[in-house]
Amino acid sequence: MTQELTSPSPAPQAPGTGRGPGWWRDAVIYQVYVRSFADSDGDGIGDLRGARERLPYLKDLGVDAVWLTPFYASPQADGGYDVADYRAVDPLFGTLQDADELIRAAHDLGLRVIVDIVPNHTSDRHPWFQDPELARQRYLFRPGKGESGELPPNDWESVFGGPAWTRTDRGDWYLHLFAPEQPDLNWDNPEVHAEFEAIMRFWLDLGVDGFRVDVAHGMIKAPGLPDIGHGAQAQLIGAQVLPFFDQDGVHAIHRAWRRLLDGYGDARGKQVIGVAEAWAPTAERLALYVRPDELHQAFNFQFLNAPWQSDALRSVIDASLAATASVGAPTTWVLSNHDVVRHTTRLGGSLARARAATLLMLALPGSAYLYQGEELGLPEVTDLPDEVRQDPAFFRGGRATGAVGPGTDTESAPDGAAAGGQDGFRDGCRVPLPWSGELPPYGFGPGGSWLPQPADWGGLTIAAQTGDPASTLELYRAALELRRRLPGLGDGPMSWAPAPDGVLAFTRPGLLCTVNPLGHDVGLPAPGTPLLSSAPVTVDDATAQLPGDSCTWWAI
Ligand code: BGC
């Protein structure tokens, strides 16, 4: 029985909604995890040339832009998030010329390109850290505590596990919020600011359309580096402002970068953007990163962490929209990335839920990020043997998947980003993409693959799913095509509509979206004509049956 719960109520809107002037406001951006996307030279590691060769696939998928994870010169202590030279391409991934060709090829196809920038820390192999004089000025060294300085300067823990401090052979300690190979920079030093602005200009000159700012909430630490109190750090991350994350001082950096990006773009008649990977305790604090004079987007991890349940989804959507509306920014939705358990697995190992969650995400106002392989419905790989593991957190006994963010340890967030993985570490979502064929490496490249691919992925390859209307790949293609075609999907208004208990319904211009996160069918008066559904929906005598764990877009 259909129960009318509420009258239609508008969800919070950004002022002046409608197709805003910025391309990013409703862009669908595809994350290419370079080492696992496509390998051109047979070393088993994806590279820039491989990515360039497969760009037509992304164009055909229907995305607007690609975000490339770090391909810079790096000892690879943390998958390239330990950068030794920000202006060089690591030979593993190719050359600067390959980067240039990739950016040009993407632009020729009408795809924009975003690259990572890693400003919180460098590699310990970076020339600044290698030079003891420079290192002292540009990183965070402190004397230890205890009689002979044998104890770390404070009680901070690394997000990858263990103390956030390592002692040098000179007896003092340096801070690393992540691995010891990733020393934190001293952002009180103006030379650090100048260097990162120069790095940005270098890549902008090469044609990139923006930057994904790694750990955008981390660069500024509280004065005096105060203790946080014992043992509770993992639980506190994300729950409150810590002395090393989300300090108010980071916003001055983002303001300076916005001036740089706007100035650069204005002079060339283009719009170049910054997207914050910022973990903040609340949607309101996250919105501070996207104030009009700061970055353009911030990943909305609250949505990613939401349980698959109507009240929780509705409240996280409302809170996200309200927070970004208060600063006039679009909301940026994401379900999977290289740091969290793939959403097919995280949502209870249910492809049906994953498909529904994706259709829900793509119907919401704002921009959306897709992570390579989610369009194939790939599950997390949960049986990787220890000897192939590469995630530094695995070796340091750190927090589980999503270690870089809040509320994602399996204990405190059973429905969170870590749920359902092998053991919470991040290799299981980074297994190379299956393109074609029945056997590994499934067309990933002419050699093997740096992490083993499951033997049963033959049916999940891009080739196998292409043209099969029931496949997840074709669902993504159809959704992205409709998103382009329907005016107002993307950055337009949204209103909640009446729906049966446990079910969500909302309207967008020309469209109504229903989401049934319950594990069983629900009937309701057909709200229109089905346009696209994550599972077969039936309409009989004007009554629609929404399958359990489904999302449907209706033409109204
Ligand atoms: C990246 C992680 C990385 C960490 C440290 C995160 O934001 O997404 O993959 O381990 O930053 O750089």
Q: What value, to the nearest 5°, has the Cα angle with vertex 405 and ends 403 and 408? A: 70
**C-alpha of residue 485 to centroid of ligand 1, in Å:** 35
Residue 9's pLDDT is: 63
pLDDT at 98 over 60: yes
pLDDT in tens, 237-257: 566 678 999 999 999 999 999
* Share of the chain residues as helix, strand and coil, in percent rounded to the nearest 5: 30, 15, 55
pLDDT at 107 over 80: yes
Q: Which atom of ligand 1 is nearest to the CA of 337?
A: 8
Residue 21's pLDDT is: 75
pLDDT in tens, 109-141: 999 999 999 999 999 999 999 999 999 999 999
Q: What would the two tokens of residue 484 be?
A: 């382009």
Q: What value, to the nearest 5°, has the Cα angle with vertex 156 and ends 418 and 187? A: 100
State the average pLDDT for the chain. Answer: 91
Q: What are phi and psi of 142, to 5 degrees?
A: -145, 155
Confidence band (pLDDT; 50, 70, 90) for 19? very low
**C-alpha of residue 138 to centroid of ligand 1, in Å:** 20
**C-alpha of residue 21 to centroid of ligand 1, in Å:** 31
Longest distance between any two alpha carbons in the chain, whole Å: 82
- Mean pLDDT value across residues 147-175: 95
Residue 215 Cβ inside 6 Å of ligand 1? The answer reads yes
| Among the ranges given (7-21, 125-139, 161-175, 433-447), the one the predictor scored with the smallest mean pLDDT | 7-21
Residue 397's pLDDT is: 67
Looking at the annotation, which residues are catalytic? 214, 277
> For residue 351, how far is the Cα from the chain centroid?
20
CA 32, 34, 39, 41 torsion-angle sign:
positive
pLDDT at 461 over 50: yes
Residue 409's pLDDT is: 36
Strand partners, 175: 165
| Among the ranges given (58-62, 374-378, 470-474, 482-486), the one the predictor scored with the smallest mean pLDDT | 482-486
Residue 86's pLDDT is: 98
Cis peptide leading into residue 153 (ω within 30°): no
Residue nearest atom 12 of ligand 1, based on CA coordinates: 81
Residue 404 Cβ inside 6 Å of ligand 1? The answer reads yes
Residue 89's pLDDT is: 98
Residue 232's pLDDT is: 56
Residue 334 Cβ inside 6 Å of ligand 1? The answer reads no
Residue 413's pLDDT is: 35
Residue 277 Cβ inside 6 Å of ligand 1? The answer reads yes
Q: Which atom of ligand 1 is nearest to the CA of 78?
A: 10
- Mean pLDDT value across residues 252-276: 97
**C-alpha of residue 81 to centroid of ligand 1, in Å:** 6
